[in-house]
Amino acid sequence: MLKIIVPTLIMIPMTLLLKPLILLPILISYSMLIALLSLTILDTPMIMNYYNTSTFLSTDTISTPLIILSCWLFPLMIMASHNHLAQEPLHQKRLFLVSLATLQSALLATFTASDFILFYILFETTLIPTLIIITRWGNQAERLRAGIYFLFYTLMSSLPLLIALLHLFNSYGSSSMKLFLLYQPLLNETNMKISPMLWLAFLLAFMVKLPLYGLHLWLPKAHVEAPIAGSMVLAAILLKLGGYGLIRISPMLYPHPQMLLYPLMVLAIWGILMTSSICLRQTDLKALIAYSSVSHMGLVAAAILTQTPWGLTGAMILMIAHGLTSSALFSLANTNYERTHTRTLLLVRGLQLAMPLMSTWWLLISLTNMALPPSINLIGELLIITTLFNWSPFTILLTGLGTLITASYTLYMFLTTQRGNFSTQYLLLPTQTREHLLMMLHLLPLGLLIIKPTLISGLFT
């Protein structure tokens, strides 16, 4: 695993030392090479759960897809920030790229940690560079409030997790993920009387990070105020930390206390409807995409809590699909914002006339967001909806209605931005090759993964 983490760490001094003219081209090329190198860890010995193992770092079929997603999106974040960085002085540009490289290194280490306490430390480490990116390079004055929301929601929910992990270490003398998987039958016997509060303490931090409906108020604020790279990494990777943590820690807490499981399942499934409905009345394009993320993550949370193979497989596939789709949607929103300097939907209409090729990308990515075949979003959603139907037939009403509303707000977003009378108050610059390449690199994995979805389905198939 060090063959990916060490080259990523090298990007920090490289950013500080490279000459200004070659800074961005070299960083993008180098990070793309790391992304291609990360594909080699897909070549896994199928008889082993864990591989690339060292004392504290290891990868398996759950963490590998998320590691590759992180590596793949890093060069795309730098490409999307090109115009944003062009207006910054050199020292600010270097600081921004150092923050991104630090965040990327922390994320890779978090996904490879094989010890729960180390995982917690790295999980919290990602908070610092993200906070710097949001509060320093956000678009408007409200970015400070968004940063405070992000900081306190994450910190307050993480403290119970730390206490629970220390209790676990004190009880069993270890916090290794591998050992707890080996001792799982024994744990289930000794934990039959697991305290509901302890169970909630373990899950709360991940539920906020995911985020579960009701604990999601920090997310739209952070998305709306963050620069494009911040929005991409928040939607594509940082939300997946919550799902990844839930997948890792849930087997230890089985059987789930019913008095707490049912309210969380209800919140997750009801949240799909509520946030989808909020999307229908949004006027801000980035806020609409952010609430769309909460809706999709509600499905992921409900699927993981069922603890069935189909549910966990669907959650893994949907997390990867949503990471690529939401990142592409934020990139598209940013291409509009760079030209019009507004995110209000009704002010920017008829863009199909001005940028017809970009309109094609809008259509393809909107259809992917609606989980139209052939996309891996469809496979993930079908598996999750089937799992929830098996868990309780009543859920088909809520998930079906949620899917219908998702299709409605996605079409509303596409038609509002692309159709209608074109406003002459904006002088729209033509699209650049960089922007088309950015869109293609988002859609290419989505298209190729449909050929072999088992690459991202985790341990469960």
- Which pLDDT tens digits describe the chain residue by residue (461 residues)? 788 999 999 999 999 999 999 999 999 999 999 999 999 888 765 555 666 667 788 888 899 999 999 999 999 999 999 998 988 899 999 999 999 999 999 999 999 999 999 999 999 999 999 999 999 998 777 889 999 999 999 999 999 999 999 988 888 888 888 887 777 656 655 554 567 888 899 999 999 998 999 899 999 999 989 999 999 999 999 999 999 999 999 888 877 888 889 999 999 999 999 999 999 999 999 999 999 999 999 999 999 999 899 999 999 999 999 999 999 999 999 999 988 888 888 888 888 888 889 999 999 999 999 998 889 999 999 999 999 999 999 999 999 999 999 999 999 999 999 887 777 677 778 888 999 999 999 999 999 999 988 889 876 65
User: What is the gyration radius of the CA atoms in the chain, in angstroms?
Assistant: 21
User: Do strands 59-60 and 50-51 pair parallel, antiparallel, or not at all (unpaired)?
Assistant: antiparallel
Q: Which residues contact 346 (CB under 8 A, 6 or more apart)?
A: 283, 416
Rounded to whole angstroms, the Cα distance separating 414 from 370 reads 11
Could you tell me if residue 457 is inside a domain?
no
- Per-residue CA distances from 134 to 329, 391, 392, 442 (Å): 19, 39, 40, 23
Q: Which helix (H) or strand (E) holds 219?
A: helix 218-225
Q: Which domain holds residue 271?
A: 2-452
pTM of the model: 0.94
Check residue 184 and give its pLDDT. 64
105 vs 108: CA distance, rounded Å: 5
> Dihedral, CA atoms, 323, 405, 150, 217, nearest 10 degrees?
-170
Residue 94 in domain:
yes
- State both tokens at 112: 């490879």
Q: What is the pLDDT of residue 458?
A: 79
The DSSP output letter for 300 is H
403: buried, middle or exposed (CB in 10 Å: 19+, 13-18, 0-12)?
middle
pLDDT value, residue 198: 86
The pLDDT of residue 345: 87
- To which H or E segment does residue 274 belong? helix 258-280
Q: Which residue has the tokens 């591998």?
A: 178
Could you tell me if residue 460 is inside a domain?
no
CA angle, 346 then 348 then 352, to 5°? 120
CA-CA-CA-CA dihedral for 225, 230, 236, 238, to nearest 10? -90
Please, what is the Cα angle at 294 between 119 and 231, to 5 degrees? 70
85, two tokens: 């960085």
Domain count for the chain: 1
In a domain, residue 459? The reply is no
Of 281, 301, 275, 361, the closest CA to residue 325 belongs to 361
3-state secondary structure of 176: strand
Query: Counting every residue, how long is the chain?
Result: 461
Rounded CA-CA distance 293/209 in Å is 12
Q: Is residue 134 part of a domain?
A: yes
Token pair of 432, please?
């650049």
Does residue 458 sit within a domain? no
